[in-house]
Amino acid sequence: MSLKHLFEILLFSPFAHALASPPPNRRTPILPFSTKGRDILDSNGDIFHFKATNWPGHQEIMIPEGLQHASIASIVAWIPELGLNSVRLTYATEMIDDVYSNSPNQTLEKSVLNALGAENGTVVLGQILDNNPEFTKETTRLEVWDAVAQELANRNIIIHLDNHVSKAFWCCADNDGNGWFGERFFDVEKWIRGWSFISGHAKDNWPTFASVGLRNELRASNASEPVDWYTWYVHMTAAADAVHDAAPDALIVFSGLSYDTYIDPIPLGKSLNGTAGTATANKTALFVPSEFAWAEKIVLEIHKYDFEATQKSCSVFKADWYKQGFQAVNASDPATKYTFPMVISEWGFIQNGTYWNQTTYNTCLIEMVRDYQVGWMHWELSGSFYLQTRPGRVPSTIQGLEEFWGLLNYTWDGLRDPVTLENSLNKLIAALDSS
């Protein structure tokens, strides 16, 4: 934890005792985690809050971003330096499909060259190997992931593993093939098979592996399967079974619909309905936690961005957002049928020194976390990408694209914008630490 961050906490803590004794959540959490009511508990019974950043590894090359600029150790070191205790690593099912088919494309050399072309790929591969001399061009993607996970463990950073896409490229858009069960790239069997493999692998090899996000940002699509909560129930519970069989200690995080912007039917215990005129017509299911083997592992996740450049007052912002699923953490709301822990698994905005103060999003998000005491995962650590393919943009593929939302700068060796950090990330940390 940086001195600057410590200063922030002391400055913003309303409780004098914070000066005398360190808050209990400063201790390294002990795995496994479980849930009790609205809380995630560590193995000592202390409440754990995710204070995480996203580190994507789901794009074309299918290894965590940034290794052409820096070593794994130096990237991982930023996470505790920023005052964070965990990371959301995102992967593509395609990576696991390649494991099952024993594909020769899994080597670093093939992964990089297939994605970037022979000319630029050779340069970038050389940079990755220069920065990370423990690898060779024959090192496989999974071996890279294992090295990342080991270094995270060396730093006591908790790993949350997120299935972000099926086909490996930037997420997310309507009809991009990755959005809904049965869509062009989203093969449900391969997704579940992938979870069986990777959650077992993580359990056996990644010491700080704690939790999974079953699927990122489910959304409308022209898939053959109807987009409804009944279909959600069928597939999400099947994937949860697969994870729990392979890694019984892992928390299982469930995302909602419409790009994971709402999940209230689950805490409200609503009937999960099919769609008239489709294969799920008249079908219903109930998500009753006590019926599942993984009853004490369920966490809900929700995303919140500021695409509308909100100027809502925080009371309105919070009341509107509450209805999207925060009933889960409010046992005294009579509409809440089941309580669950919640995590804001994506939030973020451009790190340019002024945006944090241009809309009310940042302030209201901080208030939300303070009021409801839920963990969060900032989008994102990356200062740049190996490449990014984004359907609909011209050109759709850009190599070496800068990520202006990233905590790190383009070369992954410095912070992008200390002013934004002080006013957003640091205050979100304080919102949990000072409670």
- For residue 83, give both structure tokens: 């005052």
Q: Which of 148, 138, 134 is nearest to 104 (CA)?
A: 138
Spatial neighbors of 98 by CB under 8 A, at least 6 apart, are: 62, 105, 106, 141
Residues 376-405 within binding reach of ligand NAG (CB under 6 A): 399-400
- Dist CA 321 CA 328 (whole Å): 12
- Binding to ligand NAG by CB under 6 A, coded x per residue (else -) over 406-435, reads ---xxx-xx---------------------
Which part of the chain contacts ligand NAG (CB under 6 A), choosing from 5-13, 88-96, 151-159, 264-272? Answer: 264-272
Q: Which of 407, 403, 402, 404 is nearest to 428 (CA)?
A: 407
Residue 192 CB, nearest distance to ligand NAG (Å)? 20
**Minimum gap (Å) between residue 305 Cβ and ligand NAG:** 13
Q: How far apart are CA 45 and CA 58, in angstroms?
A: 33
Kindly state the smallest distance separating residue 158's Cβ from ligand NAG, in Å.
Answer: 26
Does position 127 bind ligand NAG by CB under 6 A?
no
Options 6-14, 52-60, 161-169, 354-362: segment touching ligand NAG (CB under 6 A): 354-362
Of residues 29 and 274, the one with the C-beta less far from ligand NAG: 274
Task: Find, among 84, 89, 85, 87, the residue nearest to 63 by Cα.
Answer: 89
Residues 6 or more apart whose CB falls under 8 angstroms from that of 274 comprise 226, 228, 230, 231, 280, 281, 282, 283, 284
CB of 340 within 8 A of CB of 298? Answer: yes
Q: Quick one: which of 196, 359, 434, 435 contacts ligand NAG (CB under 6 A)? A: 359
What's 116's DSSP letter?
Answer: H
Span near ligand NAG by CB under 6 A; candidates 129-137, 240-248, 330-338, 425-433: 330-338
When asked if residue 271 is in the footprint of ligand NAG (CB under 6 A), the reply is yes
CB closer to ligand NAG out of 134 and 174: 174
* Structure letter (DSSP) for residue 296: G
The per-residue DSSP string of 120-181 comes to: HHHHHHHHHHHH-TT--TT-BHHHHHHHHHHHHHHTTPEEEEEEEESSSS----TTSSSSST
Check residue 222 for interaction with ligand NAG (CB under 6 A).
Answer: yes
Among 34, 120, 310, 324, binds ligand NAG (CB under 6 A): 120
| Shorter beta-carbon distance to ligand NAG: residue 179 or 213 | 179
For ligand NAG, which residue has the nearest CB?
414
For residues 167 to 186, the per-residue mask of contacts with ligand NAG, x marking binding by CB under 6 A and - elsewhere, is --------x--------x--
DSSP, collapsed to helix, strand or coil, labels residue 63 as coil
> Least distance (Å) from ligand NAG to the CB of residue 21?
27
Residue 313 near ligand NAG by CB under 6 A: no
Phi, psi (degrees; rounded to nearest 5) at 316? -70, -45
Q: What residues contact residue 11 under an 8 Å CB cut-off, 6+ apart?
A: none
Smallest separation, CB 422 to ligand NAG (Å): 13
Q: In this chain, which of 2, 44, 114, 136 binds ligand NAG, going by CB under 6 A?
A: 114
Dig out the tokens for 194 from the structure: 């992938």
Q: Which residues in this chain contact ligand NAG in the complex, by CB under 6 A?
A: 103, 105, 114, 117, 120, 175, 184, 222, 229, 265, 270-273, 281-282, 322, 330, 332-333, 350, 352-355, 357-360, 363, 371, 399-400, 409-411, 413-414
